[in-house]
């Protein structure tokens, strides 16, 4: 994939006070973007942005809870008033509510999974991502080449989940997996709608990352976990859209 300079670009990364989100913000800023961290806890968001500024990077933060419609509206006003546009949206925030992390052995509890866990997972991992994207899309349309990156997971691949030979076959966290599969569907549909523009919409699998969600036994660090998001955020206008990627490899839906 070919990439372009991010000088002069404005990026919003949700759930970016720590983990993959923070590292994604750092790497985008290293490439010249002004990054805005969205964080539920304003103090943690401020500290994360200050850390990046101390590294000589352009960073700011706003209070942002993906489940709060009011925060979506405030985010729109912030980008409208401060920058007049938004070039890059990284829908990074997400949860795994069925267990503490993927370091814990997975037990398939699909038949007994509570509807509350399923709804709460979808509210954060799916509905909130759509609501935010729809809210900010008018600002992304003002960019010369808007980029929307949806943080999915290989566990959202129905082909992989249906294949007994897949190394991920046993990881049947139904709510999480289904929410990521639904997010992938959103990627496909929105990319098709925007196919006659310079905007690109793609899903990414960051890898198995050593974070609170990924757990201590994961095989990649946060810098590696940010790589695919940064790659797709910096695509040239002739780059791909409507795809599902890990680094530059295409994953099956």
Most confident of 98-102, 138-142, 219-223: 138-142
Tens of pLDDT along 179-203?
999 999 999 999 999 999 999 999 9
Beta-strand (E) ranges in 40-142?
59-63, 88-91
C-alpha 187/C-alpha 203 separation (Å) is: 6
DSSP string over 44-73: HHHHHHHHHHHTT--EEEEE--TT-HHHHH
Both tokens of 212, joined, read: 């609170």
Burial class (CB in 10 A: 0-12, 13-18, 19+), 246: middle
* pLDDT band at 114; cut points 50, 70, 90: very high
C-alpha 141/C-alpha 103 separation (Å) is: 40
Helix, strand or coil, per DSSP, at residue 36: strand
DSSP string over 157-171: -HHHHT-TTSTTTT-
pLDDT attached to residue 210: 45
pLDDT attached to residue 209: 56
pLDDT attached to residue 35: 98
- Is residue 203 within 8 A of residue 245, CB to CB? The reply is yes
The fraction of the chain above a pLDDT of 70, given in percent, is 93
Tens of pLDDT along 20-64?
999 999 999 999 999 999 999 999 999 999 999 999 999 999 999
pTM over 0.85: yes
Residue 171 burial (CB count, 10 A): 18
Residue 232 burial (CB count, 10 A): 28
CA distances (Å), 71 to each of 42, 171, 251, in order? 12, 33, 33
Give the bridge partners for 61, in sequence order: 37
Domains of the chain: 10-250 (3.40.50.720)
Q: What is the mean pLDDT of residues 74-99?
A: 96
C-alpha 125/C-alpha 119 separation (Å) is: 10
pLDDT attached to residue 208: 63
Radius of gyration of the chain (CA): 17
- Is residue 70 within 8 A of residue 62, CB to CB? The reply is no
Q: Would you say how long the chain is, in residues? A: 253
- Is residue 16 within 8 A of residue 22, CB to CB? The reply is yes
C-alpha 235/C-alpha 207 separation (Å) is: 20
Both tokens of 252, joined, read: 């099956």
Tens of pLDDT along 204-238?
999 765 455 554 544 555 668 899 999 999 999 99
Residue 105 burial (CB count, 10 A): 8
Q: What is the mean pLDDT of residues 234-246?
A: 97
């Amino acid at each position: 994939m070919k990439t372009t300079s991010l000088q002069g670009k404005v990026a919003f990364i949700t759930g970016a006070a720590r983990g993959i989100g923070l590292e994604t913000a750092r790497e985008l800023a290293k490439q010249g973007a002004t990054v805005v961290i969205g964080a539920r806890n304003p103090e943690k968001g401020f500290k994360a942005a200050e850390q990046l500024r101390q590294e000589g990077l352009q960073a700011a933060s706003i209070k942002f809870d993906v489940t709060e419609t009011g925060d979506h509206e405030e985010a729109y006003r912030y980008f409208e008033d401060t920058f007049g546009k938004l070039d890059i949206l990284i829908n990074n925030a997400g949860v795994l509510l069925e267990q503490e992390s993927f370091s814990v052995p997975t037990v398939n509890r699909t038949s007994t999974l509570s509807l509350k866990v399923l709804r709460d997972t979808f509210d954060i991992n799916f509905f909130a991502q759509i609501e935010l994207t729809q809210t900010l899309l008018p600002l992304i349309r003002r960019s010369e080449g808007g980029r929307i990156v949806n943080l999915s997971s290989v566990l959202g691949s129905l082909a992989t989940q249906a294949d007994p030979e897949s190394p991920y076959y046993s990881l049947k966290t139904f709510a999480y997996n289904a929410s990521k599969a639904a997010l992938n569907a959103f990627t496909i549909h929105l990319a098709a709608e925007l196919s006659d523009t310079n905007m690109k919409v793609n899903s990414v699998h960051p890898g198995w990352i050593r974070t609170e969600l990924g757990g201590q036994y994961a095989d990649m660090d946060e810098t590696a976990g940010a790589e695919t998001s940064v790659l797709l955020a910096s695509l040239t206008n002739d780059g791909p859209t409507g795809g599902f990627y890990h680094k530059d490899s295409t994953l099956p839906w």
